[in-house]
Structure 1
Amino acid sequence: MFKKKLGLLTLAFLMVFSIMGGVVSAAAATPKIKVYLDDELMTFPVTPAIQKGVTFVPFRALFEAFDYSVKWNNAEKRINADNGEVKLQLYAGKTTAHIDGQRTSLPAAPYIEKGSTLIPLRFVAEATGYTVSWDQSSKTIHISTSAGEEENQQKVDAFLKQFGTAESERNLNKVKSMLDTDSYYYDYFVEYYEELFKSQGNTTYSNVEIVSAEDGEIIASVTRTEIWTGGPFFFDLTQDELWLFLTESSDGSLKLNDEIPGYAYYHALDLIGQTPAVPQEDQTSIEETLQAQYDGYNNKDADLVLSTHDQSTWIYRSLQQLFNSGYLNEVDYDLSASSINVVQYNGNTAIVHAEESDIEGELTGMYYMVKTEDGSWLIADAFSLYPEEDYSVMSLMDSPQAHKSDKNHR
C-alpha cells in the first residue's frame, strides 16, 4: 500500500515537474522584445513587456531617450514629462493621460513592476511626433524620429509639384481647388491668379524646407521662380525663402492658406549695363514718357500718370484702383531720374533702367515699355529697387509710387 501511494505521489510530482518544465521551456523560448530608436538599440532596466497587445517600457529610460525632462509625483503616481515642445502627464493605474493639457485616453494603464513604472511605448512616441513600426517575426519595435518629417516633406513636395503645374498650365479651377477657402486671403489669391493667368508663364518651386508642422498646419520655406513666356508681360522673378502656410483638409490633402514674401530677385537686373543700339527718336520718346510719369506723381495728377501706362496691363488697372481710393493725394513723391538707359530693345518693346530718387532717397527703377502705333512709348510693367543692406527688390506696388495693400500685393 505504501509503495502504491509512493508510486502515485512520485507520478504526481513527475507530472507537475513535466508541466512546469514545459512552461519554463516555453518561457525561455519566448524572444525578448527589442526596441530601436532610429538605428540604435535601446536598453531598459526592466524588460519591455506586452500587455493586452500594448508594449510597455520603463518610463524614465524612454522619456530621457526622447529628450524629455521627467518628474515623478509619488503621492499621485503621476509622471510629468516636458521636452520644450510637448508636455505629457500619465498616471500609474489609470488610462487617463494629458497631452499639452488636453485630456486623452491610453489603450492600457501604466503599471509598476520591480520598482519601475512602465508606460505604453507607442502612445509616448507618437505624441512626440515619432513613428512606430512592429516586426512580428523578430519581435522588434522600430521608432523613427524622422519618418514624420519625411512624410510631411513628401506631402509638401507633391503639393508644390501639382500647384506649380497648375500655375504653369494657367488652370485657374485647379489652383482654386488647392487654395484654403477659409483663408482670409482666398479672394485676394483668386483675384491675383485671374490677373496673372492673362499671361503665359512657367512656375517652379525648389529648395523646399519644412519650417514647422503641427496642428494640421505646415509652414514651408521655398524658392519660387516665375518666367514669362507670352501674353501681357511681367518681369521674371525668383523669390527665395518665401514662406507658404499650408493647411491640411479633412481628407488629408494640403491647401494654400497664406504666404509671406521672401527675398526677391528680378532677372532683368542682369541687363543693367547693356547698351543696345536704340534710335534717338525712341530714346527721346521713352525719356519723355518717364518724365511725364514723374510729373504726374509730383503734381498728384492721376490722369497724367495713367496716360503713361498701357491700359491693357495689370499695372494700369492696379494704379487706377489705387488712385480712385484717393491715395495719390496722401503721399509726397519728388520723383526724378539722373539717368535713363535702355538695356534691351527690339524695336517694339524695351526694358529701361532708370537711376531715380524720391523723397526717401535714391532708388533703381526698371521698366518694360511698349511702342504704340503713333510712335510713343508706354509703361507695361515696372518695379523699384532700394539700395538696402540686403538689396531686396520690390515691385512697383511696394514702392512709394503706389500703396501696398493686401488686395494689390500678393
Structure 2
Amino acid sequence: MVKKLICSLLFICLLLIISPVAEAASTNKPIQLYVNNKHIAGVNPIVKSGIMYVPYRKFFEAMGYGVHYDPDTRKISGIINGAEIAFWAGEDLIEYDDTSYGLDRAIPVINGQVFIPLRQFGNITKYSVYFDQPKLTVSLKSYGYGQEAAIKELVTKYYETFNPNLLTLDHPVRSYSNLDYDYDANQETSEVPVLDYKVTVDRIKYTSSGEATLQVTYVKHTEELNREDIYGYNLRFEHGQWKIAHEGWLYNRMELPVDIDQKAAVIMENDFSEQNAVLSDLNTYYAAYNAEDFERTLEYTAPSFIKDWYDFSLTKETWAENLKEFFSYSDNRFKLTDERVVFLGKKQAIVQGTLSWSDATEDVAEGDDVYEALIYLEHANGRWTYNYDISLDQDFDHRGEIDIFK
C-alpha cells in the first residue's frame, strides 16, 4: 500500500515536471510564415511585447523586394509593387509610395538584425495578416488574392442582367427595387445569336481587403449590333460575397455590322410577308402612341415590357394607369422613317430606322432630336408589339474626365 502511494506521488511529480517543459518546448517552436499560401522558408516571425515582428532583410530577400541601405542616412529601403518602402532602425515611421505611416513603437534591432512590425507592414503594403496561434503560422495575403474569378463573375453578370441582389445594402438602387422578385429565374432570353463576347478587367486596385476599384471593358458582337462599353466599379465584400457599391458608365461605342445591308436584303427576299407585318405593326404602335390612343397603344406594347414594369416597380399604380397619366401631361411624339427589318426570329424582331422625337411640353420640336435607332419587338397575341429601342448615336467617352482610381 505504501509502495503504491509512493509510486503515485512520484508519477504526479513527474507530470508536474514534464508539463511545463513540454509547454515551453511548444512555445519555442519557430513561427512559420506564409505569403499568398506559399511557405517562406527561413523567415520566422517573433512576438515581442505583444507585437509580431519579422527580420526585414531575410523577408525582403525572400520576397524579391530588394534591399538597400544608405550608411549616411541609415535609410533602409526596398521596392514593393513598383513603389519604394523606406524606414530607419530606432524610428517609429515607415514611408511607402510617397506616404508616411506612424508606427506603434520604434523599429527594433534584435541580435544585430532590424525587425519590422508585420501587421502594420501588411496594412501599409496592402496585405491582410492572420496569426493562427495554435498552429504557430502567420499568413499574409495580398488584397484580392484569389478573388479574380469571383469579381469577374460579378461584373459579367451585372452587365448582362439587372439584379439588385448584386448591389451592396446601401446602394441607392436597392431602395426602389423589388427585392422579393426572383430576378435570376425571370431573365429574358434572346433569339439574336451572339457572335463574340469578351469581358476584360483592365485594371483593379484594392483599397482594403474588402474593397476594390476596377475598370472593365465589355465587347459584344451580335448579328444586329457591335458594341463596346467600359464601366468603372467600386466593389465591397459584404456577407461573404463581392457586391457593387457604385458603378459608372465611362465609354460607349455602337455600330451596325458591316453585313447588315445583306442581312436586311435576305430577310426581305425570304420573309417578305412577315417583315411587312413587323413594319406595319410597329407603325401602328407609333400611330396609336402619337394619337394618345390608350387602348391601341396598350394592345401593341410588348407583354414582357409590361411584366417587367410590374415586377421591378414598387408602386401600386398599374401600367395602364401609368400610361394614362403620362398621356395627360406629356406631348411625346415619334416619327419613324427609313425603317427596315434587320433581324427576324420566331418571337423577336429588330427594326433599324430613324426616329425623330418631339415634345411640345419640353419645347422640343420635330427635327430637334433625330437619331438612328434599333427597335426591338416581341411577337405576342398574334401581332408584333413594341418592347424598347436604343439609340445608335449615343457614343461617348468620359474616361478623360473621370479618374475612378483617385
TM-score (norm 2): 0.49
Q: Which has the higher contact order (CA 8 A, sep 6+)?
A: 2
Report the structure number with the largest CA radius of gyration: 1
TM-score (norm 1): 0.49
